[in-house]
Copies of this chain bind each other. A is one copy, B any other.
Amino acid sequence: MSITFKLDVLKPHQPNSPTLARALKQIEGVKYVNIRVEEIDQKTTSIIIFIRGNEGLLLDKIVEVLDGNNCALHSVDEVTIQDD
């Protein structure tokens, strides 16, 4: 079973997207991370994150990593759970 989240997130200019992607990839069970920049403002960057992991991947754990990188979850746009 795998779970995929599409998240709308506000990121400060630092850390950059590759650093944030590597941090998210290190969460246990995560197999895929994609970060796409949507809009760059003066102090923040709007990003869309796709993150896929196994059954145990919890939103709380993702938010914890986002918080640790000064990012704020704006909304969960999509979630998919499927058998392998």
Contacts and interface: CB of A to CB of B under 8 A. Distances in A.
A83 B32 contact: yes
A16 B82 contact: no
A40 B74 CA distance: 12
B36 A76 contact: no
Q: How large is the interface on A (under 10, 10 to 19, 20 to 34, 35 or more residues)?
A: 20 to 34
Interface in A26-63: 31-37, 40, 58-59
Nearest to A33: B81
A37 B83 contact: no
A81 B21 CA distance: 7
Given A16-B59, A59-B16, A34 B78 contact: yes
3 closest A-B pairs by beta carbon, nearest first, are A32-B82, A34-B80, A25-B81
